[in-house]
Amino acid sequence: MSTSTDNEGGQSQQQQQQQLQEQPNLAKSRFVNLIHQYSLQVSNTMRSLKLKDRCKFTQVHAFNPSETSTSTTKAALQDQGGYPTISSVLSNSIEPISVTAAEVLLPYGLPKTDSLEPPIDPFLKSIDFVESLAELYRRVEKSSDFDKSLVYFEQYCLLCSLGDPKLLRRCLQSARQHAVDVHSKVVLSAWLRYERREDELVGTSALDCIGRNLECPKASLVYGYDPNSVFDHCQCFSTVNESSEVGISAQEEFFSSEDDGNVCFCIGDQGVYCSRGKIAALSIPLKAMLYGSFVESERVRIDFSHIGISVDGMRAVKFFSLYGSLGSFSPNVVLELLSFANRFCCERMKCACDNYLASLVSDVDEALVLIDYATEERANILVASCLQVLLRELPGYLYNSKVMNLFCSSEGKKRLAVVGHASFLLYYFLSEVAMGDNMTSSMTVMVLERLRECATERWQKALALHRLGCVLLDREEYKDAQSCFEAAAEAGHVYSMAGVARSKFKQGQRFMACELINSLISMYKPAGWMYQERSLYNLDNKKIVDLNDATKLDPTLSFPYKYRAVAKLEENKIEAAISEINRIAGFKVSPDCLELRAWFLIVLEDYESAMRDIRALLTLEPNYLMFQGKMRGEHLVELLNEHVQQWSPADCWMQLYDRWSSVDDIGSLAVIHQMLINDPGKSVLQFRQSLLLLRINCQKAAMRSLRLARNHSGSKYERLVYEGWILYDTGHREEALSKAEESISMQRSFEAFFLKAYALADSVLDPEAASCVVQLLEEALRCPSDGLRKGQALNNLGSIYVDCGKLDHAADCYVNALKIKHTRAHQGLARVFHLKNDRKAAYDEMTKLIDKAQNKASAYEKRSEYCDRDMANNDLSMASQLDPLRTYPYRYRAAVLMDDQRENEAVEELTRAIAFKPDLQMLNLRAAFHESMGDLSSALRDCQAALCLDQNHKDTLDLYNRTQTQAIDPCT
């Protein structure tokens, strides 16, 4: 529940008149009010408490160890006038000298600026991202039903650069929704399941589904286009199989009349009597044989001893000719029947065998055996079923020799292609899995080679070549990488020129690399990544200037902060180095930045803070290797343990309360990490860990913690709650509610009631629904729990009361939450004061939150709503400085400029932010600006780009339709 509020809604008439005199521009504002109204809409639901999206991290260990020779150390001392530098003190030496704590904790020295470099991102990166989004939406509008799936997949590939997992999941869902062929359905449903990592849940099967056609393995094997059915419940749990009963009874009747028929097919010394007409009806070749000019047409006994079918198999052929079904014959017999159907072109029989055998595949061993047979017999559905099992087991069987041979070899790809199961979609999914597991493995290279072979469209070729170039660059195969990047650039992917420049630089061609990036900057609209890339090839001050320009254009790039921090370290400005890395760690938490800051803190001998960062780092990536992959993170924790105070379990809980109440998410993660080392099976701690990870936008790590909580849960009712949270976070709200209700039916618990209330509140609440949520939260508060969670429940309950207009009840909830150190309740209490027309009290309440909280960006943003324009701008500037990813400040400032009739400046304010954060609301607002300025083509483009991000966004749809009408008929 957000605690933002509307603009001056409940003030007295006298106060309003006074403010109209003091701030005439703000009072008559159209766009500022629009922004505040949007803020109110968000606050009226619990949506702002939605689980946040995961961030993708790239572990970059480009740090060289410090110099090891004695002569080098002495030379460094001489260069500094005899005074030691940080690098010289921490460098290894073969001379017997006293060993400091820093040398023990930093055995490989500290990073140097010369060894730092950012990765080349392995996805599509458009030069004009908004136009690319708009073009994709136009193509979706114009595409036929059978082509939409591919367009949505292309949209997925483009949006990968944003790193928004929920947005990417929606793209995959849309692609699955509009898929027609079985192959696409199988790959996309397996991909969706892989994103949920169901394979990591103890006790689940690869073929388990959540009860919806969207991911159902059986529904994926049905050909056809029915986009409205994918979100329906599937038939996996149906227990009645009437067809098998009919088949059995028919087969009993069949065996009782075995001797009936007018043609006998002899196999060895046995014969099977069949109806000549029924057998002939199975296919044209059989009809020609039995009624045409062949000698068999005149014979009563026909020798079938050499066609590869047994007596039982021939009986199955007879049965199918009579009843049109397979009865209850064994799978081995059905395999014979499939071969017979292929030999004599019995399409109806082949289809029945194909579908029956496909339904039997249940594990990898069966799949690996049957897929060879299926490709030989060209049984499309059976291949799809085998493929589905293998894909849904990923990454578990990634390096199985048979699996590798099937997916990685040219021969395996050709075999799949023969039956229509080798596609760009399949190999892109495989490349995602392989690159995520091991970027530089030979398997990854082979999968990308197959991806390149499957590419048919220009964007596919560019993407496949670019990804292969990234892998070859990491493998230090620079000439081959350069060739791939150049081919990708020729296919239209301008960003691949950065890969070309990097490859040249690695081959000693610094000047040519620099000139290449210079040409990009002059030819295209400059982007942050261009200046970041050029900084690698410039020297001295020019390098820092480029990095500063990169940060101005895209403050989310982490490399410039890291480089500047290390540069300050080399100047012995350690505090300044920490301040620099804090700038990005405050809004974009990543393992490499935490590692860097921990090193700086060790130099300062602030071991407690260093331990905090290492523990938080290991929460994000438990197997993280430090010092360029030379030391396990756990080992550094062991070394640091000798320099920090050890906490008892009671101490840990006290520390957790303190950090939680001070809104110190990194500190809280570190405490929980320590608690889990002492009690690794504590599911409640793993659940708390997942909540913190979601708060800092690390969804991948959060989902891992949730799965661990589910696996370690000590009871079924507890496990159901964690399964419910997993389902909720992946967009399955109804299934999450069902899990909560089932858990409550077994055991009344705080978390089950809280989950149900949370899921119910994830919509616009009418009075009846709001009353139900209140009751659920009150029930939760009656159940045992700790103060951390009860504070959250009280905060949520207060928000519901505010939405219902019960301000006194809400204030009581917030005050009670503050009594148990739920500091965020200051925000809700400020909202109550504001609605009671006491803006000063609201402002003061938010000031208390700012004073207490370590993460202050959202607090500054909210406080801006309770002060005049100048003070609001100051608070919003601070919010943007602390967290440039927050979009409200940009929208507010743009609205103020628009109301001051500074239209171009308003558009530019949004454009600067959209360049690194193409947010739906900012695109919608810029479209509204363009419409008011009469620039209908730009308004349409922004609407299309916004709808590409969310095709059901009502405000944008209304604006888009209105603008289209104006463009067609300007007089309307």
At 458-471, the pLDDT tens digits run 999 999 999 999 99
Residue 570's pLDDT band (cuts 50, 70, 90): very high
**What is the per-residue burial (b if ≥16 Cβ within 10 Å, else e) of 196-234?**
bbbbebeeeebbbbbbbbbbbbbbbbeeeeeeebbeeeb
801/768: higher pLDDT: 801
Please check the confidence at residue 263 and state whether its pLDDT lies above 80.
yes
Asked whether 126 and 529 are in contact (CB, 8 A), the reply is no
Q: What's at 494, amino acid-wise?
A: V
Please check the confidence at residue 327 and state whether its pLDDT lies above 80.
yes
Please check the confidence at residue 87 and state whether its pLDDT lies above 50.
no
Please check the confidence at residue 259 and state whether its pLDDT lies above 70.
no
Cis peptide leading into residue 395 (ω within 30°): yes
- pLDDT cut 70: percent of the chain above it: 87
Residue of 858, 856, 852, 833 lying closest to 843 (CA atoms) = 833
616/259: higher pLDDT: 616
Report, in angstroms and rounded to the nearest whole number, the Rg of the chain calculated over CA atoms: 33
The C-alpha atoms of residue 176 and residue 215 are separated, in whole angstroms, by 9
* pLDDT attached to residue 850: 96
Give the lowest-confidence range in 72-76, 344-348, 410-414: 72-76
Residue of 490, 460, 496, 558 lying closest to 156 (CA atoms) = 460
Average pLDDT, the chain: 86
Please check the confidence at residue 256 and state whether its pLDDT lies above 70.
no
Mean pLDDT, residues 389-402 taken together = 90
* pLDDT attached to residue 927: 97
27/361: higher pLDDT: 361
Asked whether 473 and 502 are in contact (CB, 8 A), the reply is yes
Please check the confidence at residue 877 and state whether its pLDDT lies above 50.
yes
C-alpha distance from residue 950 to each of 44, 124, 921 (Å) = 21, 20, 10
For the segment 628-667, what is each residue's pLDDT rounded down to a tens digit? 888 999 999 999 999 999 999 999 999 999 999 999 999 9
Please check the confidence at residue 713 and state whether its pLDDT lies above 80.
yes
Mean pLDDT, residues 234-256 taken together = 49
Give the lowest-confidence range in 239-253, 671-685, 947-961: 239-253
Please check the confidence at residue 90 and state whether its pLDDT lies above 60.
no
Mean pLDDT, residues 91-118 taken together = 71
Mean pLDDT, residues 747-759 taken together = 95
Asked whether 124 and 459 are in contact (CB, 8 A), the reply is yes
How many Cα atoms within 13 Å fall on the side-chain side of residue 327?
24
For the segment 145-157, what is each residue's pLDDT rounded down to a tens digit? 889 999 999 999 9
Asked whether 5 and 835 are in contact (CB, 8 A), the reply is yes
Mean pLDDT, residues 780-807 taken together = 93
Please check the confidence at residue 15 and state whether its pLDDT lies above 70.
no
Strands 631-632 and 625-626: antiparallel
* pLDDT attached to residue 204: 81
680/523: higher pLDDT: 523
Please check the confidence at residue 141 and state whether its pLDDT lies above 90.
yes
Give the lowest-confidence range in 132-136, 469-473, 695-699: 695-699
* pLDDT attached to residue 971: 61
* pLDDT attached to residue 53: 35
* pLDDT attached to residue 96: 40
Please check the confidence at residue 9 and state whether its pLDDT lies above 60.
no
* pLDDT attached to residue 769: 86
CB burial class (10 A; 0-12, 13-18, 19+) of residue 33? middle
For the segment 931-969, what is each residue's pLDDT rounded down to a tens digit? 999 999 999 999 999 999 999 999 999 999 999 999 887
For the segment 183-217, what is each residue's pLDDT rounded down to a tens digit? 999 999 999 999 888 777 887 887 888 788 888 89
Please check the confidence at residue 29 and state whether its pLDDT lies above 50.
no
Mean pLDDT, residues 101-117 taken together = 86
Asked whether 498 and 529 are in contact (CB, 8 A), the reply is yes
Strands 263-267 and 270-274: antiparallel
Mean pLDDT, residues 479-486 taken together = 98
Mean pLDDT, residues 99-122 taken together = 86
The C-alpha atoms of residue 180 and residue 202 are separated, in whole angstroms, by 33
The C-alpha atoms of residue 923 and residue 932 are separated, in whole angstroms, by 14
